[in-house]
Amino acid sequence: RCRRALMEVWIGRESATFRLPPSRLALDPADVIRLAHDGREVEFRLVSVADAEARGIEAVRQDRSAYDLPPGDPRPASLASPIVFGMPEVVMLDLPQISEDQPAHRPLIAAHASPWPGEIAVFRSASTDGFNLLTTFGSRARIGTLAFDVFPGPTSRFDLGNELVVDLLSGTLESVTDVALFGGANALAVESAAGQWEIVQAGAAELIAPGRYRLTRLLRGQRGTEHAMGNPAPAGARVVLLDTALASLPIAEADLGLPWNWRVGPAARSVTDDSYAALGFTPTGRGLVTFAPVHVDQPWRTARAPGDLTIRWTRRSRALVADAWEQVEVPLAEDVESYDVQILDGATVKRTLTDSTTSILYTAAQQTADWGALLGPGQTLAIRIYQLSNRLGRGTPATVTLQF
């Protein structure tokens, strides 16, 4: 209909004015006549007739073919429903470094929305306004929750006693071989407490209900997160699959420790739109925190007389390359090597010893000053060992009770 009207206007640019004798009284407005012009017949439609001694006629050009145009596309029977983007589920994670492509100090962000808007924008501000765009990303993460409590388990070997039952908002999980597992596959971050994430890997995944998976053959406390095991990690705790769908937040080290306000939502919408999630998050640079030392020597394993006590342990490295088997010694990953060893009496710190090697001397004089006598057979000593970093100071501690 619109095309027909346009053709009528275009053809009707040509008009004619002429007079006819009274004998042509039968002609009325809207009648179509043919006029011979330049050796061809041209159709005109009468638009006005003025009767007098002669009939004054005004006409416009007409072309019958304009009314034979094929019909256009039919109109839809109903209007299409507009796509409404809801507020995304957003998780910000401060984790140990899990990829060489990701600078150690940068946190990660995961987002889920249905429908997925295609691209998510991340804005931040030091106040409640003046938000600036930090980054965008386009992958929907696999986010879920624990269906049941999860209790602590062994580290450095398979946890065959616990299982994770996870409800995913989207996506799937599948079992992997041990070789793939040791290469980092099927890694999940489990939020045992607010801001505390244990990294768990699962060798076996079983779909037990729509969107619900039972994960077994677990590797617990990966990448130095054994301290974050919940007792228990409660049902409803957030779970995030650690894969390439997560985005790294490109912040500077100078931003660590600053309480930023964040707005995250569809990149096609304004930062003030209701589809943006607002949250507070303070990046702490968890990837720069030193791991807890391990393998603290127990005094009872070696025959000794009461006197000076040498406390020994093994250093761990937060560097990803530390897992390479061909190395004689794992890389330091810090500017200097330094340790604090706290001598504990319950919750009270009796003394702090400092050294630059993986052993320290607790002298007989210090023992006598702290306890009134030398430590001997049958007694115990609680200690806490930290490795230090120039950037963040004390790392994750190893808390051990020594048996004499």
Domain parsing of the chain, residue ranges: 2-68, 89-285, 299-403
Residue 82 CA to residue 80 CA, distance in Å, equals 6
Rounded distance between C-alpha atoms, residue 269 and residue 254, angstroms: 30
List, as one string, the DSSP characters of 342-362.
Answer: EEEETTEEEEEEEESSSEEEE
The Cα–Cα gap between 198 and 164 comes to 13
The Cβ of residue 65 has, within 10 Å, a number of other Cβ atoms equal to 8
Nearest residue to 165 via CA among 200, 140, 196:
200
Burial tier of 120 (Cβ tally within 10 Å: 0-12, 13-18, 19+): buried
Tell me if 2-68 shares its fold with 299-403: no
Q: Say how far residue 192 (Cα) sits from the centre of its chain.
A: 18
Determine the pLDDT at residue 73: 64
Q: What is the DSSP string of 179-232?
A: HHHHTT-SEEEEEEETTEEEEEEEEEEEEEETTEEEEEEEEEEETTTGGG--TT
R_g of the chain computed on alpha carbons = 39
Tell me, what's the pLDDT at 70? 63
CA distances from 98 to 226, 320, 366, 385 (A): 15, 7, 42, 24
- CA dist 212 and 136 (Å) reads 30
Tell me, what's the pLDDT at 248? 96
* Residue burial 278-311, b: 16+ Cβ < 10 Å; e: rest: eeebebebbbbbbbbbbebeebeeeeeeeeebeb
pLDDT more than 90, % of the chain? 72
The helix, strand and coil proportions of the chain, stated in percent and rounded to the nearest 5, come to 10, 40, 50
Out of 1.20.120, 2.60.40, 3.30.70, 3.30.160, the CATH code matching 299-403 is 2.60.40
- pLDDT in 10s for each residue of the chain, 404 residues: 677 778 777 877 888 888 888 888 888 898 988 888 777 888 888 999 898 888 888 988 888 776 665 665 666 666 667 778 889 999 999 999 999 989 999 999 999 999 999 999 999 999 999 999 999 999 999 999 999 999 999 999 999 999 999 999 999 999 999 999 999 999 999 999 999 999 999 999 999 999 999 999 999 999 999 999 999 999 999 999 999 999 999 999 999 999 999 999 999 999 999 999 999 999 999 999 999 999 999 998 887 888 999 999 999 999 999 988 888 888 999 999 999 999 999 999 999 999 999 999 999 999 999 999 999 998 999 999 999 998 899 999 999 999 99
What's the pLDDT score for residue 68?
A: 67
What are the CA-CA distances from residue 13 to residues 8, 10, 17, 28, 50 (Å)? 9, 6, 13, 21, 21
Which residue has 């501690």 as its token pair?
A: 397
List all residues 6 or more positions away from 280 whose beta carbon is below 8 Å from its beta carbon.
259, 260, 261, 262
Cβ-based burial of 110 (10 A; exposed 0-12, middle 13-18, buried ≥19): buried
How is residue 279 annotated by DSSP? Answer: E
Element (H, E) at 146: strand 143-146
Backbone angles phi, psi at 5, to 5 degrees: -65, -40
Query: Quick check: 231 and 221 in contact, CB under 8 A?
Result: no
pLDDT score for 81? 73
DSSP E strand boundaries for 284-395: 309-312, 339-345, 348-355, 359-362, 380-389, 393-394
Dig out the tokens for 325 from the structure: 């088997």
Q: Provide the 8-state DSSP code for 274.
A: T
Residue-wise pLDDT tens digits, 66-116? 666 566 566 666 666 777 888 999 999 999 999 998 999 999 999 999 999
**Whole-prediction pTM value?**
0.78
- What is residue 329's predicted lDDT score, i.e. its pLDDT? 86
Q: E-assigned strands of 62-99?
A: 89-93
Cα separation, 363 vs 361, in Å, equals: 6
Q: What is the pLDDT of residue 77?
A: 64
Nearby residues of 330 by Cβ (< 8 Å), 6 or more positions away: 315, 316, 317, 319, 322
Residues forming beta bridges with residue 125, ordered by sequence position: 261
The fold adopted by the segment(s) 2-68 is Thrombin, subunit H (2.40.10)
Name the 3-class secondary structure at 367: helix
Asked if 305 contacts 259 with a C-beta cutoff of 8 angstroms, the reply is no
CA-to-CA distance for 270 and 11, rounded, in angstroms?
A: 47
